[in-house]
Amino acid sequence: MTDGGEPVPPVPPLAPTLMARLGPAVADYPPGSSFGPRDAGSYEFVWLLHGSARWVCGDLTVPLAPSALLLVRPGMRDTFHWDTHRPTRHAYTHFRLRPGVPGDEAPDDTGWPIVRDLSGRGDPMAALCQYLLTLGATRPPAWERHAEETLRLLLLTFVHGPGIRAGAHTLSEPLVAMMGAVRAHWSDGVARPLALARLARAAGVSESTLCRICRRQLGVSPVEGLERLRLARAEPLLWLSNLSLGAIAVQCGFADAYHFSRRFRAVYGMAPSAFRDVPPESAPPSPLSNGALSALQALVPPSQSSQ
């Protein structure tokens, strides 16, 4: 169970075994063609590159487009109906799953998703799919081992779901809209503060309503939440750069080093100069250890000096 009360399908340690003669590869179908019905004998990831399709399995019909990643399970009896008006190109890779730990049972995939969207911002699955195709096309030394590790990451992300989603921390629409204004305001890499009135206008709610939403979902006010995001930006700058405290203060939207140090000490319990000398594993907890605040952080660009 997640701390939000929703179950997340368990993913035990898994070791995908690539069926190298069945992908990663690309197939083309002419308009109006179909494939199946067939009884799937292995796991198969399928993702469209051009065109569209309908995937039918029993009473389930799933429309497929280039933004969709489908996972077919062994034992499924399915059919693909390809685009009736234009050629369709899709990529696929077949694999088997064995327990990652000797003695464990095979995974229970009954709660796993059927299809995932690849078009989300910051979604790693599209890149993993592209890398699989590159490995299948070029077949460099030890490519099968690299493909199996890529499949493991792809499957883990597919089952758990990438980014901000139900089962992790789902932000309400006003908070997502509010962060759109923050993202635009911080687009040059400087995390300046925003007034509550401006945040509320962006969220499309009153100031009091926005404060109530933030306290319920984040545990802090909107202004406090953004300040914690700004302070957390200082962590990699303190550890990984030789920027002065004054330069870090400016990047994190504080007037000067004194103001930055005062607020940093209030949240972290130590001065940023002392924090700089503490190894990450011994440092005070991040103000973003609150998972909902981490979800906010995912909606804004990182500091340019920490990329």
Domain boundaries, the chain: 14-160, 173-306
Residues 171 and 182: beta-carbon distance below 8 Å:
no
Q: Which residue has the tokens 């990451």?
A: 153
Q: What is the band of 1 on the pLDDT scale with cuts at 50, 70, 90?
A: very low
Instruction: Give me the chain's average pLDDT, please.
Output: 85
**Domain 14-160 carries which CATH code?**
2.60.120.280
Q: Residue 24: is the preceding peptide bond cis (ω within 30°)?
A: yes
How is residue 176 written in tokens? Answer: 């997502």
Q: Which residue has the tokens 């699989």?
A: 132
Residue among 37, 84, 42, 46 nearest 64 (CA): 46
**Residue 82: its pLDDT value, please?**
93
Q: What is the band of 140 on the pLDDT scale with cuts at 50, 70, 90?
A: very high
- The CATH fold assigned to 173-306 is Arc Repressor Mutant, subunit A (1.10.10)
In degrees and rounded to multiples of 5, residue 165 shows phi and psi of -155, 170
Residues 6 or more apart whose CB falls under 8 angstroms from that of 240 comprise 306
DSSP state of 76: -
Residues 6 or more apart whose CB falls under 8 angstroms from that of 231 comprise 252, 263, 264, 267, 268, 287
Q: Which residue has the tokens 């690309």?
A: 26
Choice between 176 and 10, residue whose per-residue pLDDT is larger: 176
Distance, CA of 56 to CA of 159 (rounded, Å): 21
At position 226, the amino acid (one-letter code) is L
> If DSSP codes are grouped into helix, strand and coil, which group holds residue 296?
helix
> If DSSP codes are grouped into helix, strand and coil, which group holds residue 44?
strand
Overall pTM surpassing 0.75 (yes/no): no
How is residue 175 written in tokens? Answer: 């908070």
pLDDT reading at 215 higher than 50:
yes
